[in-house]
A and B are shown apart, each in its own frame.
Chain A
Amino acid sequence: MTGIERYESIAGKATIDELFLLARQIEGLSIQNINSTSVGGGVAEILTRMLPLMKELGVNMRWDVIRGDEKFFVITKKFHNGLHGVPVEITDDEYDHFIRVNRENAAELSFGDVVFVHDPQPVALIEKRIDLGRRWIWRCHIDFSRPDRKIWKFLHRYVSMYDAAVFSAPAFARTLPIPQVLISPSIDPLSEKNMELPETVIDSVFNKYGIDRSRPVVTQISRFDYLKDPVGVIRAYRAAKKRVDIQLVLAGGGATDDPEGPAVMEKIHEEAANDPDILVLLLPPSSDVEINALQRGSTIILQKSLREGFGLTVSEALWKGKPTIAGAVGGIPLQITHKYSGILTYSIDGTARWIKQLINEPEYATKLGQNGREHIRNNFLITRHIKDYLLLFTSLMHKGDLVYLK
């Protein structure tokens, strides 16, 4: 059985057959993904899983990563924060440096027939289109509901030069002269991070880190980033712990394009203040099975983000049937219908209240998890994502609302 055929038992044979039908439509085209990091973060994770499957479908797809110095990534982190609505100041010199690094990369890269650019870091590569032509798509993975006006004005002139822009949630749509497409990201149910695990593996991971499985465990898995509100998570845990005996696990990795990581870790350790029931785990990129085990062995999963591009860790938790409490930001409300397939909260107090509620009402918590899993099966697995990308590339070659393909 090939890689793509293994998904038939989860998504259905007819769904996989349709992917092959669709892939035929772009036969002969070379598709090139470009982003700024090969490890860490949702984009790198999805591309790592998707590329081999695309190849099996007969799609000629590759992935290139732009290079930049430390100054470039400090600037792009400011972009990231500013686009998420955090106040930042970017100087003219920094904008100039951003453009310079993009031009250096554009001079070194060789481009495909379709250039699929991910996030703001490589957005200015589009200048190359003036000489080259080709088809260009800009894929935005971050929360664009309240972007900093000045940064958006700067990016707007580049984004407007693309053939299409792709956003992860309806609220991120902007006023643009090009078509805007909605594509939610996805999880891979067969990856090490999401595959079924024997209880023995879960036990061994919990033992390794000294987590007591006989008491409730509340876990947040995410990058150590202010926008994931790890400090807020600790405060919600403390508030809930006054009434229920819980442990807290904060686990995640860093990304090579995130210079803020160490400062965030320091804040977390300060807030945790040597509480023996708080475990902070900075995990290396190869820790997918451990993350999977931590999620599966937890009683409740949190994703208390303040801003979020999509929040794939929510889909991961729901796919494992876990009751999940998450901030109502970015793409999270697409994944959780409040009180039906999970819990949406807006504050530390609200999060603490729902932790207590779900610990005390395990049957209700179980039902939330079951509904959540079915919702993910229908809408957020990698097979749906591949379909959306194949449609996106196909759509560049056609006009009209109703297209008959051969």
Chain B
Amino acid sequence: MTDHGPGTPFYFHTKLDQTILLGVRAKNVKQLLHGIRTVPESSIYHHTHRFLLQHQYLSPEPPNDFAYWVTEIVGNAALGERLASIDIVQFDSIAVLRERFADILESCVTSEEYRPETNHGDDFHFMASRTFVIPTPFVAHDLREFMDILGKISLNALYYHVFDAKLRLGKGENDFSRWLRDQARDDIADKIKRLDPYAQTLEGLRRRIIGLLGRDDRN
């Protein structure tokens, strides 16, 4: 979706991710902090978003990878809870999100003298997502078409327009809300923007967005 303005069609895209192994690993919290500070942004994005697509059948979703590893492998439940509680939806850039993780871990590293190491095989392995965006044949010219197509697109396409658009592409807002504003439908745009996409499954998110569009009396 590149054009703007009333009457501009919405071009649906999808995305597919390739997982890159960075060969960087952490055996303790201090090394995890070092990794978080130095890996590319695509790695921070990978470890905070991967679970959304890989565990679609779980609800509530597991937390981000950093929180999971600190809780389950390092065995520091208190620190893990702080990392799991980061409200990712409020962040508009990965750089700021990275800082938030680093700040929490730093407070632990500086206050803890005892830093246990994990067993062999339990290291945290940093990975990154390489994202390939592909146009789909779906184009919506009005709200009715938009709602119909939303019911057909893949979860990858939904994910791209909601998660990638806002945080990875730095648009500050999901693609759906941006397009709805262009159509002078700020009312629905605001409602979609207020949804927390991290606190539900992708199918649940799809249903809610369609529900908001379906309730529109001008539709």
* Chain A residues packing against B (C-beta within 8 Å): 12, 14-15, 17-18, 21-22, 25, 145, 167, 170-176, 179-183, 328, 374-375, 377-379, 387-388, 391-392, 394-395, 398, 400-406
Given contacts A15-B154, A378-B56, contact A404 B21 (CB under 8 A): no
Expressed in whole angstroms, the Cα–Cα distance for A82 and B85 within the complex equals 44
By a CB distance below 8 angstroms, the chain B residues around A22 are 16, 132, 134
25 pairs, A vs B, C-beta closer than 8 Å: A14-B155, A14-B157, A15-B154, A18-B14, A25-B134, A145-B121, A167-B21, A173-B21, A173-B125, A179-B20, A180-B22, A180-B23, A181-B18, A181-B20, A181-B21, A374-B57, A394-B132, A395-B130, A395-B132, A401-B40, A401-B41, A401-B130, A403-B133, A405-B134, A405-B135
Smallest CB–CB gap between B166 and chain A, Å?
14
In the bound complex, do residue B21 and residue A403 qualify as a contact, i.e. CB atoms below 8 Å apart?
no
B200 within 8 Å of A by Cβ?
no
Chain A residue nearest to B58 (CB atoms) is A374
What 7 A-B pairs have minimum CB-CB distances, sorted nearest first?
A: A14-B154, A170-B125, A173-B21, A180-B21, A182-B19, A401-B42, A173-B23
Residues of B within 8 A of A402 (CB): 42, 130-131, 133, 168-169
What residues of chain B lie closer than 8 Å to A405, measured between beta carbons?
Answer: 132-135
Within the complex, the shortest CB–CB distance from A174 to chain B, in Å, comes to 7
Residues of B with Cβ closer than 8 Å to A? 14, 16-23, 40-42, 54-57, 121, 123, 125, 127-136, 152-157, 168-169
Residue in A180, A377, A401 whose CB lies within 8 Å of B129: A401
Given A170-B21, A182-B19, A328-B121: A21 in contact with B132 (beta carbons within 8 A): no
Q: Is the CB of B132 within 8 A of A403?
A: yes
Q: How far does the alpha carbon of A12 sit from the alpha carbon of B203 in the complex, in Å?
A: 13
Which of chain B's residues have a CB closer than 8 A to the CB of A328? 121
Q: A21-B134, A22-B134 are in contact. Are A12 and B154 (CB under 8 A)?
A: yes
Which residues of chain B come closer than 8 Å to A17, judged between CB atoms? 136, 154
User: In the complex, what distance in Å separates the CA atom of A274 from the CA atom of B186?
Assistant: 77
Max chain B C-beta neighbours (<10 A), residue from A398, A400, A401: A401
Contact between chains at B23 and A174 (CB < 8 Å)? yes
CB-based nearest B residue for A12: B154
Q: How far is the CB of B89 from chain A (nearest CB, A)?
A: 21
B155 / chain A contacts, CB cutoff of 8 Å: 14
Residues of B within 8 A of A404 (CB): 133
Q: Are A378 and B129 in contact (CB under 8 A)?
A: no
| Given A21-B14, A395-B18, A402-B131, 13 new contacts (CB under 8 A) | A18-B134, A21-B134, A170-B21, A171-B125, A172-B21, A180-B20, A182-B127, A377-B57, A388-B18, A391-B17, A391-B18, A401-B129, A405-B133
Tell me the smallest distance from the CB of A167 to a CB of chain B, in Å: 6
User: How far, in Å, is B153 (CB) from chain A's closest CB?
Assistant: 6
Alpha-carbon gap, A22 to B15, bound state (A): 10
Complex Cα distance, B122 from A328, in Å, reads 11
Decide: A14 near B153, CB < 8 A? Known: A392-B18, A401-B131, A406-B135. Answer: yes
A306 CB to nearest chain B CB (Å): 13
Q: A171 CA to B21 CA in the complex, in Å?
A: 9
**Cα distance A278–B168 in the bound complex, in angstroms:** 56
A401 to B133, CA, bound (A): 11
* B168 cross-chain contacts in A, Cβ below 8 A: 402
